[in-house]
Chains A and B, each alone.
Chain A
């Protein structure tokens, strides 16, 4: 009951940091989708791009997050504000699942459907937007879902460079050896991750082509 009391007392700050957290995850996810889907389409349509694109995204994934934040710190415009830096790092991590699932989703479209579409005189754009993307959408969305869930967790580390978010509680709690503080960061983060997972999972099922 202690914990509930603590949460209630600090509800304003928990709310504020949760919103900050959501902002970091939300913006970076949108950016990752805007960059990742075109890259996924590119590597699905032109096999030459497949290896460099997926390879790079893979390598980024292997860089430890704290180290990536550190690397980016001296970059001029980025280093000015911690949230910019955090958003860029989170975007980079979110790219791989988005690119990979876009690639898989588009490659998974029945070749007969693509051939029929091409044979009927659809342009490349019509084929992409009316056939390939709609048929791949649930696979792409499941990549976005992975990206979001991972980002919610990763964003807690952004507090280490002063970007805010629920990580603030966790780092403060670690420094002060205060479990209540740690939980004040960890529990809302877990709730965020689970709701994002559930919500996007639901959407993914709704959009699955017949």
Chain B
């Protein structure tokens, strides 16, 4: 979309505020830049505004003031349908269409974008493999899958039209610890290959340290600070130290020190 300046931020918030219809502020004075190929984690408690921030990027929500730019184009002035189709979106409850097979779910955006059927078929097979699912699962319905399999399908669906940006709202939050660990590991290796620009919402510090290139810490509708995982552990910011204390020690071992 718009101009493709390789060095500029892929996503930029400029002085963004968001209010509920009843006037209650959920987000204020937000300035944030997300660079190409990084995984920016929005970390915060429930109600801190992290999901709101995410939904402002694909304009599921519209800011009250300020503006959000995607690839240097104001989302306010963009065609919202085109914008959303160029951004992958994964949510905790997955939201697979229960009346569609796995294949149809994954192929949804390509189909409404009018890809020819053989190309969709090929892409679906490629994606099933990419997220580690057996090809024969394609003909199943979502209710026939386990929670982990469902979320893999959710990720595959978001990647279908090969968007450069991926928004993930606590995608692994509802999974058991072992499945979560596995999916986090796969996310890291997938991200190394695909190099998407990812904005990832979580309240789990361990997950944030493990997956994030940078962590944006949010509290009560404000962005507190943006730090790399290593910086986060050494930070003297009271909120950051409170997080580190709450999650206990041995966090060092999980911190993402990788380039991407």
Q: Which residues of A contact B (CB under 8 A)?
A: 110, 112-123, 126, 130-131, 134-135, 209-210
Query: Chain B interface residue count: which class?
Result: 20 to 34
Q: A119 contacts which of B58, B96, B97, B112 (Cβ < 8 Å)?
A: B58
Cα distance A210–B98 when bound, in Å?
6
Q: B95 contacts which of A110, A121, A123, A134 (Cβ < 8 Å)?
A: A110
1/0 contact string of B96-109 vs chain A (CB within 8 Å): 11110000000011
Q: A116-B96, A209-B98 are in contact. List 11 more A-B contacts (CB 8 A).
A: A112-B94, A113-B95, A113-B98, A115-B60, A116-B97, A116-B154, A119-B58, A120-B89, A120-B108, A120-B158, A121-B84
Cα distance A112–B91 when bound, in Å?
8
Q: Which residues of B contact A (CB under 8 A)?
A: 58, 60, 81-85, 89, 91, 93-99, 108-109, 112, 141, 143, 154, 157-158, 167
Q: Is the pair A116, B84 in contact by a Cβ cutoff of 8 Å?
A: no
> Which of B58, B91, B98, B143 counts the most A-chain CB atoms under 10 A from its CB?
B98
Q: Which residues of the partner chain A approach B94 to less than 8 Å between Cβ atoms?
A: 112, 116
Residue of B with least CB distance to A207:
B99
Total A-B residue pairs with C-beta atoms closer than 8 Å? 60
What would be 6 A-B contacts, judged by CB atoms less than 8 Å apart?
Answer: A116-B89, A116-B96, A117-B95, A121-B112, A123-B81, A210-B143
Cα distance A123–B157 when bound, in Å?
17
Q: B112 contacts which of A116, A122, A135 (Cβ < 8 Å)?
A: A122
Chain A at the B interface: SS class: helix
Residue of A with least CB distance to B55:
A119
Cα distance A210–B108 when bound, in Å?
18
**Min C-beta distance of B53 to chain A, whole Å:** 14
Q: Is the pair A121, B99 in contact by a Cβ cutoff of 8 Å?
A: no
Cα distance A113–B93 when bound, in Å?
8
Q: A209-B98, A210-B98 are in contact. Are A120 and B84 (CB under 8 A)?
A: yes
Q: Which residues of the partner chain B approach A120 to less than 8 Å between Cβ atoms?
A: 84-85, 89, 108-109, 157-158
Cα distance A91–B3 when bound, in Å?
56
Residue of A with least CB distance to B101:
A210
Q: Which residues of the partner chain B approach A121 to less than 8 Å between Cβ atoms?
A: 81-85, 109, 112
Q: Which residues of the partner chain B approach A209 to less than 8 Å between Cβ atoms?
A: 98-99
**Min C-beta distance of A75 to chain B, whole Å:** 42
Q: Which residues of the partner chain A approach B112 to less than 8 Å between Cβ atoms?
A: 121-122, 126
**Min C-beta distance of A32 to chain B, whole Å:** 25
